[in-house]
C-alpha cells in the first residue's frame, strides 16, 4: 500500500511538472493499417477516436510508376515525398510517401479509402492522438526522398516553435526482397509496421510509423530507421517527420476545477459524478489513469452532470484528467 501511494505521488508530480513545462505529450490512442493491390487501400478508423482527436495517415505506393494519391474528404496533405531507385526491370522504381492529417469530428465514418493514380501496390496506416491542438495540429514537418539505403532510412530534422510536441516519424521502403520489418531508432516508440507480402512483383512495400515526445522548441535532429535483413540492398526509400502541437495546460487540480468542474463524492465506492459548475463550462474529454500512468477509462463529458462508474477497478488512488478548450485539469480520486 505504501509503495502504491509513493508511486501515486510520483505520477501526480510528473503530471504537475509536465503541466508547468508542457501542456501534454499528445497522447497516443491507437493505430490501424492495411494493404491494397489494386490502387486502393482502405484503413479502418482507429479505436478510441473521439471529437477533436487528431489522426495522421501515411500512404506508401510503389514499384514502377507511383505518381499520386487521392485522400478521402476531410484529410489535409502534410507532405508528399517521391523518390526513384534501381529496379523494375529496365526502368527505375518510383515510390511515393504521402502523409495527411484529420481532426476528428463528432461523427466519423468507420473507414477511409485512399486511392492511387495507377495500378500499384499501396500500404497505409493511421495513428491517432489526443490532446493535440485541434486548430493548428501540425507545428512543423519535413521530408527526405533522395535516398536509396534501406539500412539507413532518414527523416530530416524539423524546427519546432512550441515547447511541447509529439514527433511522428514515418519511414517507407520499396525493396527487391521479402524483407518486411522496418526498425526505428531506439528513441522512437513504434506504432505500426505494415508491408505487402509475397515479394511481388519486384519486391515488398514497407511502411513504419513511430513517435516520441519533444519537450522543448528548436531543431529536433534527424530520425532514422532500418529495414531488417536488407544489407546490400539499395532500393528507393523515403522518410518524413511531423511535429504535432500539443494543447496548452492552464493549471492543475483545484486552481482550475473550482470554477469549472466538481468531482464527487471523493472518495467513493467507484461511482463518481462530474458536474459542470455553469452552463458556459466547455465540454471536455475525460481520462482516468492508475498510479502507474496506465489509461483505465476514456469518454466524452457533454452533460451538466455525468455519472462515471469505475466500480470494476481495484480499490486505490487514480487520477482523473479532464481536457477542454480552456485547458487541462488533473484530479486525484480514490476508490475505497
Quote the pLDDT of residue 10. Answer: 47
In this predicted model, what pLDDT tens digit does every residue of 205-233 receive, in sequence order? 889 999 998 888 899 999 999 888 776 55
Of all residues in the chain, the percent with pLDDT exceeding 70 is: 78
In this predicted model, what pLDDT tens digit does every residue of 52-108 receive, in sequence order? 899 999 998 876 665 688 999 999 999 998 877 655 544 555 678 999 999 999 899
Classify each residue of 162-173 as buried b or exposed e, where b means 16 or more C-beta atoms within 10 Å of its C-beta: bbbbbbbbbbbb
- The rounded distance, in Å, linking the Cα atoms of 106 and 319 is 26
Residue ranges matching CATH 2.60.40.3080 in the chain: 2-21+249-335
Cα distances (angstroms) measured from residue 140 to each of 104, 143, 167, 214:
20, 11, 9, 12
CA angle 269, 271, 274 (to 5 degrees): 135
Collapsing DSSP to helix, strand or coil, 308 comes out as strand
- The rounded distance, in Å, linking the Cα atoms of 269 and 62 is 56
pLDDT tens digits for the chain (336 residues)? 444 544 444 444 444 444 434 545 688 999 999 988 778 899 999 999 999 899 999 998 876 665 688 999 999 999 998 877 655 544 555 678 999 999 999 899 999 999 987 667 889 999 999 889 888 999 999 998 777 778 889 999 999 998 889 999 999 988 766 667 899 999 999 999 998 865 555 567 889 999 998 888 899 999 999 888 776 555 778 899 999 998 765 444 433 444 577 888 888 999 998 887 777 767 788 888 887 777 889 888 888 888 999 999 998 888 888 887 767 778 888 888
CB 284 within 8 A of CB 324: yes
Beta bridge partners of 271: 309
Fold of 2-21+249-335: Immunoglobulin-like (2.60.40)
- The rounded distance, in Å, linking the Cα atoms of 201 and 63 is 8
- The rounded distance, in Å, linking the Cα atoms of 82 and 222 is 19
Quote the pLDDT of residue 203. Answer: 65
Amino acid at each position: 500500500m505504501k509503495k502504491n501511494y509513493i508511486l501515486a505521488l510520483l505520477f501526480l508530480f510528473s503530471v504537475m511538472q509536465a503541466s508547468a513545462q508542457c501542456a501534454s505529450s499528445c497522447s497516443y490512442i491507437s493505430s490501424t493499417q492495411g494493404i491494397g493491390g489494386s490502387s486502393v487501400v482502405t484503413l479502418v478508423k482507429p479505436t478510441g477516436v473521439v471529437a477533436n482527436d487528431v489522426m495522421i495517415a501515411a500512404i506508401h505506393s510503389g514499384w514502377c510508376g507511383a505518381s499520386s494519391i487521392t485522400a478521402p474528404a476531410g484529410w489535409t496533405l502534410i507532405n508528399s515525398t517521391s523518390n526513384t531507385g534501381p529496379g523494375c526491370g529496365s526502368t527505375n522504381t518510383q515510390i511515393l510517401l504521402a502523409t495527411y492529417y484529420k481532426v476528428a469530428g463528432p461523427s466519423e465514418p468507420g473507414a477511409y479509402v485512399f486511392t492511387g493514380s495507377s495500378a500499384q501496390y499501396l500500404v497505409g496506416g493511421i495513428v491517432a492522438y489526443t490532446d493535440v491542438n485541434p486548430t493548428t495540429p501540425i507545428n512543423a514537418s519535413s521530408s527526405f526522398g533522395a535516398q536509396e539505403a534501406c539500412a539507413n532510412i532518414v527523416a530530416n530534422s524539423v524546427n519546432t516553435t512550441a515547447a511541447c510536441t509529439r514527433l511522428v516519424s514515418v519511414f517507407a521502403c520499396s525493396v527487391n526482397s521479402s524483407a518486411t520489418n522496418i526498425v526505428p531508432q531506439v528513441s522512437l516508440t513504434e506504432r505500426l509496421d505494415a508491408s505487402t507480402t509475397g515479394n511481388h512483383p519486384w519486391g515488398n512495400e514497407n511502411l513504419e510509423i513511430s513517435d516520441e515526445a519533444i519537450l522543448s522548441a528548436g531543431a529536433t535532429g534527424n530520425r532514422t530507421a532500418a529495414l531488417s535483413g536488407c544489407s546490400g540492398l539499395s532500393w528507393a526509400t523515403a522518410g518524413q517527420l511531423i511535429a504535432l502541437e500539443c494543447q496548452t495546460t492552464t493549471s492543475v487540480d483545484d486552481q482550475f476545477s473550482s470554477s469549472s468542474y466538481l468531482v464527487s463524492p471523493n472518495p467513493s465506492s467507484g461511482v463518481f459524478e462530474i458536474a459542470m459548475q455553469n452552463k458556459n463550462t466547455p465540454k471536455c474529454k475525460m481520462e482516468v489513469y492508475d498510479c502507474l500512468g496506465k489509461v483505465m477509462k476514456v469518454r466524452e463529458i457533454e452533460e451538466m452532470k455525468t455519472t462515471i462508474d469505475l466500480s470494476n477497478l481495484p480499490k486505490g488512488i487514480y487520477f482523473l484528467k479532464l481536457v477542454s478548450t480552456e485547458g487541462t485539469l488533473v484530479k486525484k480520486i480514490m476508490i475505497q
